[in-house]
Amino acid sequence: MREELSVDTVEQVKLQAFQELESASDDAALEQWRVAYLGRSGKITQLLRGLGALDPDERRVVGAAANKAKGVLSDGLDLRIKALKDALLAGRLDTESIDVTLPGLPAPQGRLHPITQTRREIEEAFVAMGFEVREGPEVEWDRYNFDMLNIPKEHPARDMWDTMWVDNENAEGERSMLLRTHTSPMQARIMEATEPPVRVIVPGKVYRYEATDPTHEWHFQQVEGLAVDEGITLANLKGTLFEFARRVFGEERKVRFRCDFFPFVEPGVDMSIDCFKCGGDGCHICGHTGWIEILGAGMVHPNVLSGVGYDPQKYTGFAFGMGVERIAMLKYGIDDVRNFYANDLRFLSQF
Ligand code: FA5
C-alpha cells in the first residue's frame, strides 16, 4: 500500500538521508548515496513524482518541503565531499614529510658570450706581454675619431669608415659627434694624457654604417694596441703580433703580413690568417682569397705623435686594431659573423 505523502514523510526521508550521508566515508559510498536519494529513481525524486496525487493545497506545502529537502541534501553532499577531501589532505600531511636534503631542480646557468671569451683571451695574450688594458667612450668626438688621427675634415680618407653620426651640430653647423668607427681614437686620448713609454691595449665596441655580410657586421668589437717609446721599430710590431697569433691560434696557422694604408700610421700593414674553411684555396667566406684579415697596424704617424705633444724625433711607436669577431670566427670555425648577435641560444650555448 502506498505510504501517505506529507511534510512529515519528507522530513523523515531527509533525516535518514543525512544520517546515511554522515557515515559515507569514500567516493563509492557517496555515489551510492547520491543515487539512492537524488538519482532518477532516488527517494527524493520519487517524493516529487508522488505530488501529483495530492490535492492542490497539500501539493503546494509538501512540494515546497520536498524541493527544499532536495536542495539541502545536494548542498550536504557537496560539503561532505569537501570534508572528506580535507581530511585526506590532513592525513597525508600527518604521515608524509618533505625531505629538505633532496637536491633542488638545477637552475639554467648563463655563460660568457663567445665574443667576451675571445676578447678576454686576446687581453690575456697582451697582458702577458706587458700591455695594460684601458677603455674609452663609444660615443666619440669627430676630433678624436678622425682629426687627431691625421684625417682632416673633407679628407677622402674619411670615406674608409662609413660613419654613424649623432645628431649634434657645432656652431658652424658641422656634425661633430659620432659612434666611434674604430678604437683608434683612444690612441690620441691616451697619448694626450700620458708621457711615454706607453704600452696599452683598448678593447671596445665600434659601429659602422655598412651592409652586413658573412665577415661584416654593422657593430663589432676591436682591440686597439699602442706602444710608444724611444727606439721602437716595425720589427717590434711584427714580433708582438706574431707572438699574439701564436698564443691565440697555435703554431700551425699561417699568418700573412702585408702593406696597407691607414692615414694614422706610416708605414701601414695588415695581418691575415689562412681561412679556416678552405685552408687557403679560396671560398665565399674569405672572398676567394684564402685569407681572412684580422687587423690593421703600422708605425704611429709622426703627425699623430706631434698632435698629442710627443716629439717624433725622439719617440716612435706602433699601433694595431684587430677585429674580435673575425678572431672568434677563425678560432671556432664560424662561417657567418652575424651568428654572434642573432641571440640564438642553440648557437650561443655551444661555447
Ligand atoms: C681600422 O679600424 C683601424 N683603426 C685599424 C688600425 C689601428 C690600423 C691602428 C692601424 C693602426 P679596419 O677598418 O681595417 O681598420 O678594421 C680593423 C679590423 O676590424 C679588421 O681587420 C677586421 O678584423 C675588423 N673589422 C672591420 N670591419 C668589420 C666589420 N664590418 N665587421 C666585423 N669586423 C670588422
Q: What is the dihedral of CA 189, 193, 197, 198, to 10 degrees?
A: -30
Contact of 229 with 116, CB cutoff 8 Å? no
Q: How far is the CA of 142 from the centre of ligand 1 (A)?
A: 18
Instruction: Give the CATH number of the domain where residue 239 resides.
Output: 3.30.930.10
Number of domains in the chain: 2
> Which stretches of the chain score pLDDT less than 70?
1-3
| pLDDT value for 3 | 58
CA distance 184 to 175: 20
Residue type, 216: H
Residue identifier of the C-alpha nearest atom 33 of ligand 1: 323
Residue 100 lies in a domain: no
Residue identifier of the C-alpha nearest atom 30 of ligand 1: 216
159 and 288 belong to one structural domain = yes
| Max CA separation in the chain (angstroms) | 133
204 and 336 belong to one structural domain = yes
Name every protein residue with a CB atom under 6 angstroms from any ligand 1 atom.
182, 184, 208, 210, 216-217, 220, 222, 262, 265, 268, 293-298, 319-323, 325-326, 337
Residue that terminates a domain, selected from 37, 67, 95 = 95
Q: How far is CA 163 from CA 201, 204, 257, 283, in A?
A: 23, 17, 27, 29
Q: Model pTM?
A: 0.72
Residue identifier of the C-alpha nearest atom 2 of ligand 1: 182
61 and 158 belong to one structural domain = no
67 and 124 belong to one structural domain = no
Residue 217 CA, closest ligand 1 atom number:
31
Domain that holds residue 329: 114-348
| pLDDT value for 311 | 97
319 and 202 belong to one structural domain = yes
Active-site amino acid positions: 161, 182, 208, 222, 265, 319
Residue that terminates a domain, selected from 41, 61, 95 = 95
Closest CA to 269 of 290, 227, 299: 299
Q: How far is the CA of 320 from the centre of ligand 1 (A)?
A: 9
20 and 53 belong to one structural domain = yes
Predicted confidence (pLDDT) per residue in 229-267, tens digit: 999 999 999 999 999 999 998 888 889 999 999 999 999
163 and 66 belong to one structural domain = no
335 and 222 belong to one structural domain = yes
Residue 103 lies in a domain: no
C-alpha cell at 319: 699601433
161 and 224 belong to one structural domain = yes
Q: Write out the DSSP string of 283-344.
A: -TTTTTSSEEEEEEEEEEPHHHHHHTT--TTT-EEEEEEEEHHHHHHHHHT-S-GGGGGS--
161 and 290 belong to one structural domain = yes
Question: Strand, coil or helix: what is 248?
Answer: helix
Residues 6+ apart with CB under 8 A from 248: 121, 122, 125, 327, 331
Residue 294 CA, closest ligand 1 atom number:
23
| pLDDT value for 163 | 87
343 and 203 belong to one structural domain = yes
